[in-house]
């Protein structure tokens, strides 16, 4: 899995996705990444819904970006606005509307659900950190609960 921590940026796939996002940070890339999970309809040969682990890791990274844009970054959020001011200024121009917020939350909820075959969940169940990982996803769902007020009201 290329994982060294139970956090959403604690795996290689999330950092690969983050590097791609930092080259061209757009709402479109967030939408595409989250839609792979939120609207996934892949199935195994027996018709069981299937969620790919790599897509799940990328969607969690994208959902963390959305949460940070809602002023609710996670504890392992890899970008510090003070240290990477120019890049953060560019990222913070992305407006999180209700459809994007809802898609991020739906993607995370889909990864938590026990139905179908979720490769990422299965990999975490084999580890000793499954419940810590699951708790982090539940906290992310909560951070994605509502939109932030418009910038002029902050």
Residue 153 has pLDDT above 60, yes or no: no
50-51/117-118 β-pairing: parallel
Residue 17: name the closest of 69, 71, 53, 67 by CA.
Answer: 53
Give residue 3's pLDDT band: very low, low, confident or very high (50, 70, 90): low
Higher pLDDT, 76 or 134: 134
In a domain, 117, yes or no: yes
Give residue 33's pLDDT band: very low, low, confident or very high (50, 70, 90): very high
In a domain, 2, yes or no: no
- Give a three-class secondary structure readout of 15-31: HHHHHHHHHCCCHHHHH
Structural tokens at position 12: 């290689």
In a domain, 55, yes or no: yes
Q: What is the pLDDT of residue 127?
A: 86
Q: What is the pLDDT of residue 75?
A: 84
Higher pLDDT, 41 or 60: 60
Residue 111: name the closest of 24, 15, 36, 22 by CA.
Answer: 36
Domain count, the chain: 1
Q: What is the pLDDT of residue 152?
A: 45
| Domain containing residue 75 | 12-153
C-alpha to C-alpha distance for 52 and 68, rounded to whole angstroms: 24
**H/E element holding 117?**
strand 117-118
Q: What is the pLDDT of residue 62?
A: 96
Residue 91 has pLDDT above 90, yes or no: no
CA angle 77, 3, 76 (to 5 degrees): 15
């Amino acid at each position: 899995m290329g994982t060294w921590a139970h956090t959403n940026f604690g795996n290689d796939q999330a950092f690969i996705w983050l590097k791609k996002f930092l080259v061209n940070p757009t709402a479109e890339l967030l939408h595409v990444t989250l839609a792979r999970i939120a609207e996934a309809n892949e199935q195994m040969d027996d018709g069981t819904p299937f969620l790919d682990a790599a897509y799940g890791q990328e969607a969690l990274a994208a959902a963390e970006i959305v949460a940070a844009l809602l002023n609710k970054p996670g504890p392992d959020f890899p970008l510090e606005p003070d240290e990477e001011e120019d890049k953060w200024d560019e990222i913070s121009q992305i407006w999180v509307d209700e459809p994007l917020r809802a898609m991020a939350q739906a993607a995370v909820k889909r990864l938590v659900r026990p139905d179908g075959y979720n490769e990422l969940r299965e990999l975490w169940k084999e580890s000793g950190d499954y419940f810590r990982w699951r708790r982090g996803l539940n906290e992310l769902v909560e951070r994605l609960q509502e939109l932030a007020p418009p910038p002029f009201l902050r």
